[in-house]
Structure 1
Amino acid sequence: MKRLKEAAQARRNRRCGLGSVAALCAMLAAPQAHAVDVDAGDYTALPAGTNLLMGYYQYATRDAAYVRGHKQAGDPRLDSHIGILRGVHFTEIGGFIVDPQFLLPFGQLKGKDDLSAAGSASGVGDLILAATVWLVNRPETGTYFGITPFLYVPTGKYDNDDALNIGENRWKFALQAGFITKLTDKVTLDLAGDVMVYGKNDKYGPARETMKQKASMQFQGYLRYHLSDAWDLRLGVSHTIGGETEVAGVDQGDRQRLTKVSVGTGWFIAPDLQLLASYGRDVSVRSGLREDDRLNLRVLKVF
């Protein structure tokens, strides 16, 4: 009887594994699928009239699939090369600093090894509109607190017959709060948390089924050590939970519980030009593909 139960459970895990990997290829591999990642320092309020132009490059490799915390057999691999163009304008409204902004992702996804049949996808992703409102703005003490709504507009390239897509064919909304404070003259703490809600994708997969997703939450923290006023070293951790999907009314059992870490540096090579680089990886994955390497690069221009 025990062996029969184990065999039945193994069959259920295999079915769940196949469903999770397929769902991951179609959804979670998109450049902004289930997280509102921040860089340390993002919640610093700047004077009204300041403009920022940023360019990002993000390279990530994924080398293992997990179902309910169990690593699956095989050698799935998914690589991504994603760029993001971001523009930010700081203004003052009703006595508060506000920064309306846009983010436009673009790039390529490519399945390899066991996921090579998924092929590749390239193009422009879903446009992101956002605006932070700073409720606390104390540059003299290095303390800031802001709230940011994010709206993800389904403008990206999407084909329901493709296993991989840059766009998601659905609206999304996230609300994030961010806090920065100096612990000492040399150490700064950055904290952020968000909740994301998802619209439905009514053209999911070749059968054009309806895919729904429950809300997810993410919590992020960074410590920055300032080597000088222009150069810092940073250590970060992020934890994401929730986000279980449902396809054609069937629960996929893919609730997220993901923890990742990163190390990096930020350097103002000139008063109006910053370079940022960080390296990270997933250290705990409940469902989906594990990122074994992630390199983030960013150039920021102030004008």
Structure 2
Amino acid sequence: MTVISSNTGIGDLTFATAIWPYADREQKKYFGVAAYLAVPTGSYNSQQAFNTGESRYRSDSQMGYQQPIIENLNRMIAVDTMWFGGNSQCAAACFSANNTSLNKKPLTTTQLGPLYKLNENYTFGASYFYVAGGATTIGNTYQNNVVNTQRFLLSALAYYHVGRISLQYGRDMEIKNSLIETRRLAVRFTTEF
């Protein structure tokens, strides 16, 4: 019988920023850029397989463009690339008795699809995602795990004075080397404080 140790503590601290270098409100055309940086501040123990922290830096840069097709129907495209720092203290999660190095190549996601704004409160969307990259090496051993995934996601967003509610449904369409997600259903509530 295998016992998985428990882990408590905070996760890695993430900093984020976004700007819109181009925003034409009259023509409803927008170009945005965002960046994220995750700092290894979370709880980490190399002898545990599961940790709240990753013991490595991660950064992500995104850019997206949106413009109308007709009246309330828009099209959008976004590209996102995540870079991973190395973890030189990987043991249990790397299936090693001693600390070894874990390295991961950049992972890029391309997303495109239509958005329909019914009114000021309700928006609907359909997105196609293509995800590629992210191969890892443990020590000097290549893991042959390049991600190559295609999936779709249907979304409904409701904006209220108390916050935003989102409902999403999707699934993987094609997997060449990754875990298979047969269904995804997500309900989220977001509010400002």
TM-score after normalising by structure 1: 0.56
- Alpha carbons of structure 1 residues 162 and 181: separation in structure 2 relative to 1, 3 Å: same
Residue 30 of structure 2 corresponds to residue 144 of structure 1: yes
**What are the Cα deviations for residues 142-184 of structure 1, in whole angstroms up to 9, with x where unaligned?**
2110111211111223222222333211001122111111211
Matches within 5 A, 1:277-292: 277-292=167-182
Q: What's the % identity of the aligned pairs? A: 25
Instruction: Please give the alpha-carbon distance, in whole angstroms, between the structure 2 residues aligned to 1:186 and 1:283.
Output: 28
Residue 99 of structure 2 corresponds to residue 208 of structure 1: yes
Q: Which of the numbers 89, 99, 110 marks the counterpart of 1:219?
A: 110
Task: Find the residue that maps to 1:183 and give its secondary structure.
Answer: strand
Shift of the alpha carbon at 1:247?
0.6
Unaligned runs of 5+ in 1: 1-115
Task: Find the residue that maps to 2:181 and give its secondary structure.
Answer: strand
Instruction: Please give the alpha-carbon distance, in whole angstroms, between the structure 1 residues aligned to 2:12 and 2:49.
Output: 17
Q: Which of the numbers 15, 23, 26 marks the counterpart of 1:129?
A: 15
Matches within 5 A, 1:1-303: 124-206=10-92, 207-270=98-161, 273-301=163-191
Equivalent in the alignment of 1:30: none
- Alpha carbons of structure 1 residues 185 and 168: separation in structure 2 relative to 1, 3 Å: same
Task: Find the residue that maps to 2:189 and give its secondary structure.
Answer: strand
Shift of the alpha carbon at 1:125?
2.6
**What are the Cα deviations for residues 257-287 of structure 1, in whole angstroms up to 9, with x where unaligned?**
01221112011133x6321111222222222
**What are the Cα deviations for residues 38-62 of structure 1, in whole angstroms up to 9, with x where unaligned?**
xxxxxxxxxxxxxxxxxxxxxxxxx
Letter in 1 for 2:142: D
Moved over 6 A (4+): none
Task: Find the residue that maps to 1:167 and give its secondary structure.
Answer: coil
TM-score after normalising by structure 2: 0.85
Unaligned runs of 5+ in 2: 93-97
Instruction: Please give the alpha-carbon distance, in whole angstroms, between the structure 2 residues aligned to 1:225 and 1:171.
Output: 37
- Alpha carbons of structure 1 residues 292 and 234: separation in structure 2 relative to 1, 3 Å: same
Shift of the alpha carbon at 1:205?
1.8
**What are the Cα deviations for residues 91-130 of structure 1, in whole angstroms up to 9, with x where unaligned?**
xxxxxxxxxxxxxxxxxxxxxxxxx866776654322211
**What are the Cα deviations for residues 192-241 of structure 1, in whole angstroms up to 9, with x where unaligned?**
10222211011112321101111121111232122222212211121111
Letter in 2 for 1:174: D
Q: Which has the higher helix share?
A: 1
Instruction: Please give the alpha-carbon distance, in whole angstroms, between the structure 1 residues aligned to 2:11 and 2:114.
Output: 31
Letter in 2 for 1:147: V
- Alpha carbons of structure 1 residues 254 and 128: separation in structure 2 relative to 1, 3 Å: same
Instruction: Please give the alpha-carbon distance, in whole angstroms, between the structure 2 residues aligned to 1:220 and 1:280.
Output: 13
Q: Contact 2:13/2:38 (CA < 8 Å) preserved in 1?
A: yes
Shift of the alpha carbon at 1:245?
0.5
- Alpha carbons of structure 1 residues 260 and 126: separation in structure 2 relative to 1, 3 Å: farther
Instruction: Please give the alpha-carbon distance, in whole angstroms, between the structure 1 residues aligned to 2:7 and 2:179.
Output: 17
Q: Bigger relative contact order, structure 1 or 2, given CA contacts below 8 A and separation 6+?
A: 1
